[in-house]
Structure 1
Amino acid sequence: MNQHTPPQAIAFIDVVAQRRRLGQAIDDAVTRVLTHCQFLGGPEVTQFEADLAAFTGARHVVTCASGTDALLMLLMAKGFGPGDAVFCPSFTFCATGEAVALVGATPVFVDVEDSTFNLDPASLVRGIATAQKLGLVPKAVIPVDLFGQSADHDAIAAIAEAEGLFVLDDAAQGFGASYKGRRLGTFGHATATSFFPAKPLGCYGDGGAILTDDTELAETLRSIRVHGQGTDKYDNVRLGLTARLDTIQAAVLIEKLKIFQDEIDARNRVAKRYFDALHNIVTVPRVAEGNVSVWAQYTIRLPRGERDGFATELKARGVPTAIYYPKSLHQQTAYKHYPVAEGGLAISEQLSEEVISLPMHAYLDAATQDRVIQAVRDAVAS
């Protein structure tokens, strides 16, 4: 390589390596669907729901078309709407607040913890007080298991129980993670997750699921995902959506779930290596005691004003980065008119100026990890 040839770029999330590993198994799974031609509601959908229930310990799994649909379906099933307050962390992807606004309820944004980036229970308490002062009725809270780590579900559950709140766990980034020895999927009243291709457990398109132990809620969700059907699809007993998971995606996910735990273990090995090499160079993520992360992202923090130069330096070395999220939800044009918890959202705002994510996936070999680590060291030193 001459001095003018740029280094080969590292994959930020390497879905190609996983595809190579699964190879024929995926081909065979998709071929089975192409053979029976049940592209919606095929046997693979039922099998995947059963597999996911076994994996998490949840009593019911209702698959759907996306993580956003999972959130929306749950809010619709509960009948939340105008005058109702639903509490969301501001430092998250927009879908969390978007689903609330789409049903006509009011998202009330609360702050996150500096250490875990997840919903701050103290800010939730302040957010409830804010909602009540505005004449809103507190109805639900949506903790997000951000970047792969579980939120503080015990603390959130205690507040929710005291205030009569429905708890909808947004595990779109944290599915597969564990909180105090239990996998996500059984915390709160229901869990929503996403199978977007870049997620730790991702399909080959859009997909999602809802997990709950509530039998009545599960039945309502199955109705909502097919236009609110009753006895059949032409018996519409409630408002609904077109929100089914298609059979090919279910077939792909069945095969991916078989290797998911192995991939979680691999992600944790990469994260440990990053931590060991970088914790004295930059501010690295910390996993709370008792938690196991799935490391949907490996997000570090840099002093304000240094992020752009850092990203440019890494790109020159063939190391991609990403920023999740350059704006918190309460700073976004579509959401800035919604209320925020008393005391403001200082941590969310600070994180949006400081965070940057490094390549993270289960197929980062040691040599590639070394390239990332050295690039970070060089960029910080320059």
Structure 2
Amino acid sequence: MIPQAAPPRRIARFRPEIDAAVSAVLSGPDYILGAAVDAFETAFARYCGRGHGIGVASGTDALALTLRALGIGPGDEVILPALTFAGSAQAILQCGALPRFVEVDAASRCIDPAAVADAVTARTTAIMPVHLFGYPADMPALMAIAGRHGLAVVEDCAQSHGATLEGRRLGTFGHAAAYSFYPTKNLGCVGDGGAVVTDDAALAGRVRSLRAYGFSPGGRVSQTLGFNARLDEIHAAILLALLPHCDAGNAERRAIAARYRAGLAACPSIVLPPEAEGCVHHQFAIAHPDRDRLKEHLAGAGIGTAVHYAPGLHRHPAFAGGAAHPLPITERLSDTLLSLPIQPEVIGDVADEVAERIAQAVLTFAEAGPR
């Protein structure tokens, strides 16, 4: 069986470096907010091209703490796409604000700037673009909209570690960016983890306080409502060991995506993800009108796949009423997208053969036509 993703295989690939990093933590004096977290925050901020990095407990915490640090709360609305993971919208609810879902661009599958412009109201305080599957949203257009209306922009980079747009790292366009280090991410630890990056020192300071009970710097007196949302030392040490390999892993994902694209390009019933120079292919999601039966066919051929994301968030009971208008593109994509294996350690050393096997299995189904 070829799994859709297998985080333990990446850990095994870099096990000597990870073992050394974990051993150093276990032998050291601090297990919470110690030297490993400090070192990773500095290294990751530099990698992203930002001045400040703050390690937190998850990608959802990274979003929620950033929104709170920006002063967003009850009565406010935050615009985001409906085609994304629930954590993006849950972070908004956790602040007491309301998620306002808008349509995605049919090609990029990222938030549509025109839809954002139409959705801005007097209650809008922020835009949360999601760089879905590692593809860049149209940040110049979104920043222009935000500038016209005085809105904050928090980039959801949970799926776009190392991705670029016009030669510039994603996560450097908005006021801040939130990352997830969930094990399946391009840069992942062995549990939940996240980070906020920003150039705003005051904002970084507020996030640091919020992640640790609202404490003031160096103190243990709560100055405001805070949370226990810290990145653990062991996770930070593992991430610090894996960070130097992130760009090489992204290059491997691009090579696998190119093999898929070559193998499936001639099939008219398969819609391929768009090509983008700076994409890091967190997922390689094809679209097919009979997605669920294709998924079953591939499982029968020993190939694991995943559905990201169905239904759209505007269909989740927790977010009812979050879409002011119908979202037909989101509906279509949520019904047809299927993520193929893309993790380099899953495809393995014989990438040509494995990618060819997967592509051929997809073609066999597609060429057979409807049942």
- Into which bin does the TM-score normalised by the smaller protein fall? over 0.9
Matches within 5 A, 1:216-365: 216-281=202-267, 282-288=270-276, 291-303=277-289, 306-338=290-322, 340-342=323-325, 344-363=326-345, 364=347, 365=351
Kept in 2, the 8 Å contact 1:176–1:294? The answer is yes
Equivalent position amino acid for 1:59 in 2 = G
Matched, 1:34 2:26: yes
Query: Can you list the C-alpha shifts for 1:279-328, whole angstroms capped at 9, x where unaligned?
Result: 2221100034xx4111111000112xx11211111101001111111100
Provide the C-alpha distance between the structure 2 equivalents of 1:127 and 1:56, rounded to a whole number of angstroms.
Answer: 30
Aligned residues: 362
Provide the C-alpha distance between the structure 2 equivalents of 1:251 and 1:37, rounded to a whole number of angstroms.
Answer: 14
Equivalent position amino acid for 1:221 in 2 = V
The match for 2:9 is 17
Matched, 1:58 2:56: no
Matched, 1:73 2:65: yes
Match of 1:202 among 178, 188, 211: 188
Provide the C-alpha distance between the structure 2 equivalents of 1:224 and 1:239, rounded to a whole number of angstroms.
Answer: 7
Query: Can you list the C-alpha shifts for 1:325-350, whole angstroms capped at 9, x where unaligned?
Result: 11001111111222x244x2111111
Identity of aligned residues (%): 39
* SS of residue in 2 equivalent to 1:20: helix
Provide the C-alpha distance between the structure 1 equivalents of 2:241 and 2:73, rounded to a whole number of angstroms.
Answer: 38
Provide the C-alpha distance between the structure 2 equivalents of 1:97 and 1:18, rounded to a whole number of angstroms.
Answer: 29
Provide the C-alpha distance between the structure 1 equivalents of 2:335 and 2:292, rounded to a whole number of angstroms.
Answer: 10
The match for 2:174 is 188
* SS of residue in 1 equivalent to 2:318: coil
User: What is the Cα-based RMSD across aligned positions, in Å?
Assistant: 1.2
Query: Can you list the C-alpha shifts for 1:7-44, whole angstroms capped at 9, x where unaligned?
Result: xx002113233223212111111011111141101211
Provide the C-alpha distance between the structure 2 equivalents of 1:274 and 1:326, rounded to a whole number of angstroms.
Answer: 23
Provide the C-alpha distance between the structure 2 equivalents of 1:337 and 1:116, rounded to a whole number of angstroms.
Answer: 25
Provide the C-alpha distance between the structure 1 equivalents of 2:304 and 2:140, rounded to a whole number of angstroms.
Answer: 36
Matched, 1:112 2:112: no
Matched, 1:96 2:78: no
- TM norm structure 1: 0.92
Match of 1:155 among 130, 141, 145: 141
Gaps of 5+ in 2: none
Kept in 1, the 8 Å contact 2:194–2:231? The answer is yes
Equivalent position amino acid for 2:173 in 1 = F
Query: Can you list the C-alpha shifts for 1:169-199, whole angstroms capped at 9, x where unaligned?
Result: 0000112111110112211100001000000
Kept in 2, the 8 Å contact 1:111–1:341? The answer is no
* TM-superposed deviation, 1:138: 1.3
* TM-superposed deviation, 1:381: 2.1
Provide the C-alpha distance between the structure 2 equivalents of 1:17 and 1:332, rounded to a whole number of angstroms.
Answer: 33
Kept in 2, the 8 Å contact 1:90–1:111? The answer is yes
Provide the C-alpha distance between the structure 2 equivalents of 1:46 and 1:52, rounded to a whole number of angstroms.
Answer: 10
Kept in 2, the 8 Å contact 1:58–1:212? The answer is yes
Query: Can you list the C-alpha shifts for 1:59-109, whole angstroms capped at 9, x where unaligned?
Result: 000110000000010111112112111101111111111111111111111
* TM-superposed deviation, 1:126: 1.4
> Where does structure 1 differ by over 4 angstroms across 4 or more consecutive aligned residues?
none
Matched, 1:372 2:358: yes
